[in-house]
Structure 1
């Protein structure tokens, strides 16, 4: 008899293929554009010395930010989940709040306070402080799911705390940490706002400059192809790092809660560490915005316009998060339950659009709408589809992790009782994975609110979001006028970030 682990994914292959096709749409655009003047010209662009420099600079920045985020994310997750850190519940919420800070706001805050902090160092600092929660959240969730009996057995054999963590706990955190690191790397490679403000040339800035410099899109498309190749390589590396070992356990929680480790004389340093990260990632940008709000000319502010722009931002982000979650569900289930080549290809396809700069995804959507779906041109559905392409990996990673933690034996039991694959999916798989899926939807909602380049190109005529208004005012150096929009964006994005911390 076929089991749920073999039959349920087959039912989802159709919807998963649809999601993968949407995610691969920008690649079709790149293929058309990059080869428009022949393979030889595209190859000459991809093999120039300038392209090699962009490749090295982008990889160096991604490596530095990933390493820093792993240190921050794992250490904070351990402190808030497995130790008796004073105010641990409050800290677990506080350290997720950097998700609400757009990278370009963080970059502006640091650059305005420390003008010399630009280039590689400034970009690494800004991107690390806004992206380490991508590692913290999955690692914290994994720590809650690890049975403490394994650590106690190690300690009973005379192994010290440090070696127990390295030999018992850390290997079990590898899938969660690797998934979070992949999201951070893709975030860094696709970032445009922070590196532009910090004047650090990466692929995204190089592609944007190429698009702006000429009507010929072929060089920019060729550069984008290199960026896609880097993405595929990173996804393949993460898949190997993750391994093929299952991590399911029976029930909705651990056999019993882990006893929090007492910090003793390390209590003060631990509190100082958590406070320093929060101050640099959240308090400092808010303080900078507070300065501009206090020194700005309030007579030029438009409260009604600000309120309307905020409502528009919430509506567009909600639509983007809803579509992305619906598309990610079949892909995440197939990736978690199916071991075949098709599942791997679908998962890699879902990640393809995330490393593309927003401007490339937006132009591919324009290309598609003008040629094949004219009524969608400069309409809201096109922008929502662009959000789905850009942020599908966030929802897929959350769904896959949630499904992996739901034991497949429960699906097998349901099938043995005569339930069909769709019924098993609806009554067993999805309910067990619902908390993780909801967390992915909330995370997607936050990043949709902060997205900038695709929104600038695809928004309907006359529509503004908080991100586009902020960028417009910042572009003309009206920092005081931009401050209300930046503050509103951070406050709105802080709500789902706070709920993510509370739910965790």
Structure 2
């Protein structure tokens, strides 16, 4: 058999299986006898408005903060950068839970002060929460682009008569517009795909309505809404693929001259943003822990989360290996690898809906841990594949060729060369899969076995029951898990290899 044929065959089978749920959903949605109603049009408009407002607010917050932390001589600038990126460590549904409990009717703020508080329901509340936990996308991508610019360009603009502010607006920002656009599109994709925040804020977007239709046994309508949502997500992903980084030869770093008053005002704004995103949930959960303790929380929920996440990570590791090896054997292997990435761009609620359909047709799988784990693998397999392939490519294929030249057979080459080369990257990818599965909410709600609670679903049940104080411990654990995920992702981004 031709060298690499076995990994290619295995990769083809894996790619077909990973794509299958989406094909089932599209087939069911297209064949659904459901009309496009005014209610559907309202959901489309709501989803688009949520994305637009979240993107606009994230750009307004993220771009100025990126400029200041990249160029201004702030005291403890690295600390400010870390603090402003930290909201990525809090899942938006955890933030939504905290804001709903604090500012909702009869919430903690009203109980503490006796004063009425603004209503957090609807579009304003959902957009606020998503902005607070996604502006770091714009902040980080813009800051990375700014740090690649040469100060000489701005100095030339200044010698031609432009003020510092004019040079920033007319010279610097146009040169980093692709970085801003990349972050903005990530915010848009998150806003469209997010389930927990609109659901908690009671704002009808695609994700919330898909879940409502599922619970009302309107599976045909849920499938059709999922197909509409796939089209919207596909459009955002296409736009994202059109945004390329503008590469410049890095030169001297630009420095912004800021007076004491401007520095103080800038740090005050940054502190307000960080307090809104981090201080509110952390302070609220801390107060609940002091006041109510564990609130009836039991260790079985942690065991369930850990157990299912470990199984999903292990399965992803096993599946990722042949896909990564096949990707190093030419164009066909790379194409099959890309096919396995489809699930990562599809919202969890959509994959969950597709697998509910599969489970209903294959009754022995319905509401089983096996189907839930399969959904996790479809969603997060690219994290394992990307890390494994980048490690293999970084180590080089010459070692494999040398081993074959010295007479080693395919099995011996795999065990003694390929596997050791891939192992560090694939274990790192497995760790990322584990962390992401731990905080996955909508897919778990749809596919979990009866009575099977994870940290995310337990927090959801606490919200539905209105026992907010009981959510302190699971919310704190989810923040800790998410923090580990963010640290791991940021560390992987510092590696000079392309993982996709």
- For 2:271, which of 272, 275, 279 is the aligned residue? 275
> Would you say 1:365 and 2:355 are equivalent positions?
yes
Match of 1:264, SS? coil
- The residue that corresponds to 1:154 in the other structure is 153
- For 2:19, which of 17, 24, 34 is the aligned residue? 24
Match of 1:224, SS? helix
Structure 1 residues 346-357: aligned runs within 5 Å: 347=338, 350-351=341-342, 354-357=345-348
Instruction: State whether residues 29 and 221 of structure 2, in contact with CA within 8 Å, keep that contact through their aligned partners in structure 1.
Output: yes
Closer, same or farther: CA 21–197 of 1 in aligned 2, 3 Å: same
The Cα shift of 1:378 comes to: 4.4
Structure 1 residues 241-320: aligned runs within 5 Å: 241-242=243-244, 259=253, 261-265=255-259, 266-296=262-292, 298=293, 301-302=295-296, 305=298, 307-320=299-312
The Cα shift of 1:315 comes to: 4.5
> Would you say 1:202 and 2:205 are equivalent positions?
yes
- The residue that corresponds to 1:233 in the other structure is 235
- For 1:33, which of 28, 35, 41 is the aligned residue? 28
Task: Please report the TM-score for the alignment, with normalisation by the length of structure 1.
Answer: 0.73
> Would you say 1:126 and 2:141 are equivalent positions?
no
Closer, same or farther: CA 18–165 of 1 in aligned 2, 3 Å: farther
The Cα shift of 1:217 comes to: 1.7
Structure 2 CA distance for aligned equivalents of residues 190 and 323 of structure 1: 25
> Would you say 1:382 and 2:371 are equivalent positions?
yes
Match of 1:269, SS? helix
CA deviation vs aligned residue, 1:391-434 (integer Å, no higher than 9, x gap) = 4677789999x89xx99xx98999999999x99x979x989x96
Instruction: State whether residues 446 and 497 of structure 1, in contact with CA within 8 Å, keep that contact through their aligned partners in structure 2.
Output: no
Instruction: State whether residues 323 and 336 of structure 2, in contact with CA within 8 Å, keep that contact through their aligned partners in structure 1.
Output: no
Closer, same or farther: CA 113–377 of 1 in aligned 2, 3 Å: closer
The Cα shift of 1:67 comes to: 2.8
Match of 1:117, SS? coil
Closer, same or farther: CA 462–198 of 1 in aligned 2, 3 Å: closer
The Cα shift of 1:141 comes to: 5.0
Match of 2:73, SS? coil
CA deviation vs aligned residue, 1:427-457 (integer Å, no higher than 9, x gap) = 9x989x969x95x777655442222122133
> Would you say 1:98 and 2:87 are equivalent positions?
yes
Closer, same or farther: CA 96–205 of 1 in aligned 2, 3 Å: same
Structure 2 CA distance for aligned equivalents of residues 220 and 381 of structure 1: 23
> Would you say 1:53 and 2:52 are equivalent positions?
no
Instruction: State whether residues 93 and 500 of structure 1, in contact with CA within 8 Å, keep that contact through their aligned partners in structure 2.
Output: no
The Cα shift of 1:240 comes to: 2.1
- The residue that corresponds to 1:4 in the other structure is none
The Cα shift of 1:125 comes to: 0.7
Instruction: State whether residues 19 and 350 of structure 1, in contact with CA within 8 Å, keep that contact through their aligned partners in structure 2.
Output: no
Instruction: State whether residues 309 and 435 of structure 2, in contact with CA within 8 Å, keep that contact through their aligned partners in structure 1.
Output: yes
Rg bigger for which structure? Answer: 2
Structure 2 CA distance for aligned equivalents of residues 493 and 291 of structure 1: 21
- The residue that corresponds to 1:222 in the other structure is 224
- For 2:214, which of 199, 211, 215 is the aligned residue? 211
| Highest RCO, 1 vs 2 (Cα 8 Å, sep ≥ 6) | 1
Instruction: State whether residues 92 and 501 of structure 1, in contact with CA within 8 Å, keep that contact through their aligned partners in structure 2.
Output: no
- The residue that corresponds to 2:110 in the other structure is none
The Cα shift of 1:65 comes to: 1.4
Closer, same or farther: CA 442–82 of 1 in aligned 2, 3 Å: farther
CA deviation vs aligned residue, 1:213-257 (integer Å, no higher than 9, x gap) = 23x4212211111111112221122222338x7x5x9xxxx97x8
Match of 2:463, SS? helix
Instruction: State whether residues 295 and 469 of structure 2, in contact with CA within 8 Å, keep that contact through their aligned partners in structure 1.
Output: no
CA deviation vs aligned residue, 1:287-333 (integer Å, no higher than 9, x gap) = 2223333443x4x7446x2x443344245345545666887899899
The Cα shift of 1:64 comes to: 1.7
The Cα shift of 1:380 comes to: 3.8
Closer, same or farther: CA 140–499 of 1 in aligned 2, 3 Å: farther
Closer, same or farther: CA 280–238 of 1 in aligned 2, 3 Å: same
Structure 2 CA distance for aligned equivalents of residues 264 and 443 of structure 1: 40
* Number of residue pairs aligned between Structure 1 and Structure 2: 458
Instruction: State whether residues 126 and 201 of structure 2, in contact with CA within 8 Å, keep that contact through their aligned partners in structure 1.
Output: yes
